Chains A and B, each alone.
Chain A
Amino acid sequence: MVHWTAEEKQLIASVWSKVNVEECGAEALGRLLIVYPWTQRFFASFGNLSSPTAIIGNPKVRAHGRKVLTSFGEAVKNLDNIKATYSKLSELHCEKLHVDPENFRLLGDILIIVLASHFARDFTPACQFAWQKLVNVVAHALARKYH
């Protein structure tokens, strides 16, 4: 089980309380598809992904980004039980979606950069540490049921 210090929990909760899940989610997924274009392989049904402008404006990308980040919120709410929280999603990503777990790490790092751009100096090094830990734990939990 992951051990969170009181400070880490507080830093995570404090940032999360100010996150616009719809905006940040859309931005994170959009940037993932732009910065690492090979990740578009999972989204052939999303329509126009032909340029950064198309990606950022794509309603399916925005909707899915929101869905993904909303799910991330479950981790924030269940810091002491992230493994169980993502058990079914892990199976889904392996058996149905066939997503290489490396993509979870890529998205986690993109999310950190999006948070940094929104929170600026409030996203202190200690804050970044707590959030890097969180995205790692989430990525690990999502990969856990792979077989």
Chain B
Amino acid sequence: MVLSAADKTNVKSIFSKIGSHADEYGAETLDRMFTAYPQTKTYFPHFDLHHGSAQIKAHGKKVVNALIEAVNHIDDISGALSKLSDLHAQKLRVDPVNFKLLGHCFLVVVAIHHPSVLTPEAHASLDKFLCAVGAVLTAKYR
């Protein structure tokens, strides 16, 4: 799917409103994903997955910074995330279904903290953007 000009504007606007809370939201996204979808924990046997763990905080920050990178290069997400795409294909091999779960939890977090920002149109754009990111990260799987 293709992001329209309006989608790109909406997504940039959402992330600018999120601002400095991004790291916190990244951690919360992961925390919710591990709680709502326990099967996602299987990719992190080496982590302390208790609520508020330092590892979840650090990893949440990494994940959301990758999203921010994609937003900053929204016209070329596959270029911006090319190395991450290689990593996921060759090393991490997270099953593609899980990107949807992560994306859903990120939407939940945005809905919780910025309900007025997540208008139906913005919701649609952000959902599309997250799908696009997932598609890029799994593009080289086979």
Interfacial residues, chain A to chain B (CB-CB below 8 A): 30-31, 34-35, 52, 55-56, 109, 112-114, 116-121, 123, 125-126, 128-129, 132
Contact = CB atoms under 8 A, between A and B. Distances in A.
B34 to A, nearest CB: 8
Q: Is the interface of B mostly helix, strand, loop or mixed?
A: helix
Contacts of B120: 30-31, 34-35, 52, 55-56
B31 A125 contact: yes
A30 B113 CA distance: 21
Contacts of A56: 120
Contacts of A113: 104, 107-108, 111, 118, 123
B1 to A, nearest CB: 11
Nearest to B100: A109
Given A125-B32, A125-B36, A116 B108 contact: yes
A34 B121 contact: yes
B19 interface: no
Contact of B108 (A34, A35, A128): A128
Nearest to A125: B35
A52 B37 CA distance: 31
A35 B127 contact: yes
Interface string B88-115: 0000000000000000100111011101
Given A112-B108, A113-B108, A129 B124 contact: no
A17 B31 CA distance: 26
Contact of A120 (B112, B119, B124, B127): B112
B123 to A, nearest CB: 6
A35 B35 CA distance: 25
B115 A34 contact: no
Contact of B124 (A35, A114, A119): A35
Contacts of A112: 104, 108
Contacts of B113: 120
Contacts of B107: 113
12 contacts: A30-B120, A34-B120, A34-B123, A55-B120, A112-B108, A113-B108, A116-B109, A117-B118, A121-B112, A128-B32, A129-B35, A132-B36
A52 B118 CA distance: 13
A18 to B, nearest CB: 15
Nearest to B127: A35
B112 A117 contact: yes
Contacts of B127: 35
B124 to A, nearest CB: 4
